[in-house]
Amino acid sequence: MIKVTIWNEFRHEKTKEHVKAIYPNGLHAVIADFLGKNEDISVRLAALDDEYQGLPDDVLEDTDVLIWWGHMAHKEVDDELVKKIQQRVYLGKMGLIALHSGHHSKVFKAVIGTNGNLQWGREQKEIIWNVNPGHPICAGIPDHFLIESEEVYSEPFFIPEPDALLFIGWFEDGNVFRSGACFNRGAGKVFYFQPGHESCRSFYNPYVQKIITNGVYWAAPNNLGFDIEDKCPHMLSPTKDEFNA
Ligand code: ZN
């Protein structure tokens, strides 16, 4: 069973009527609906205004994959919480999926190590091109698909060189964007995926749902078989017996 916690800032859905109309219970609830259809995935919802910003230690320690959606309130997220998430990813205990405006979250920036800046513009049609069809996150995704309306995100996108580039988004005005990218960080795995503006319906798109679902399976921690500690100890040499075995 993969335990997924879907963290949402959850402010736009409460304050803006047009957003509430699309995501009445929050966009995290829609993500939970489609992920929850998989018998081997369990989902939990968390929001910024919950106690401990939705992520007390016991929840964090019981999370295999953390999905992050934030926008206007990135600065309100507690720095200590960000450090805990970063370490949990580095130690291979948890995967991270940052969605859409999560590119500017403290969590994403702390984990990948750059400012996550990009260019943006008003909503347009987007074509998502699958540029890495052999990657597990691209399984079941056609060579391209259309999103009727999405906020324009455009290059340059200040991320480190991805360990795998999966999708490129093309917008009507000619802008392009690395809309799906994977990063290995320490023993952990990070997936960034661009669609998901709060006033668009992207989280209802079946291909977007499939990609996020594949992302959960990919980002789930490996069973490491040993414990990675948050320190850099002197090496332990293999014993003579191990060599002779
Ligand atoms: Zn947006």
Q: Which residues, in sequence order, are CB contacts of 148 under 8 Å at separation 6+?
A: 125, 201
Model confidence over 167-211: pLDDT tens digits? 999 999 999 999 999 999 999 999 999 999 999 999 999 999 999
Where is average pLDDT lowest: 106-120, 144-158, 223-237? 223-237
Cα(81)–Cα(19) distance, rounded to whole angstroms?
28
Paired tokens of 107: 């969590």
Cα angle 29, 26, 198; round to 5:
120
Query: Per residue in 27-41, pLDDT tens?
Result: 999 999 999 999 999
Q: In what order do the strands lie in the sheet with 188-193?
A: 41-47, 2-8, 65-69, 95-99, 188-193, 176-185, 164-171, 119-130, 144-154
Centre of ligand 1 to C-alpha 239, Å, is 55
DSSP alpha helix (H) spans, 91-200: 106-112
Cα of 207 from ligand 1 centre, angstroms? 19
Q: What is the dihedral of CA 47, 9, 117, 187, to 10 degrees?
A: 10
CA of 224 to the centre of ligand 1 (A): 36
Q: Which residues fall inside 5 Å of ion ligand 1, going by CB?
A: 101, 151, 197
Is the pLDDT at 233 greater than 80? The verdict is: no
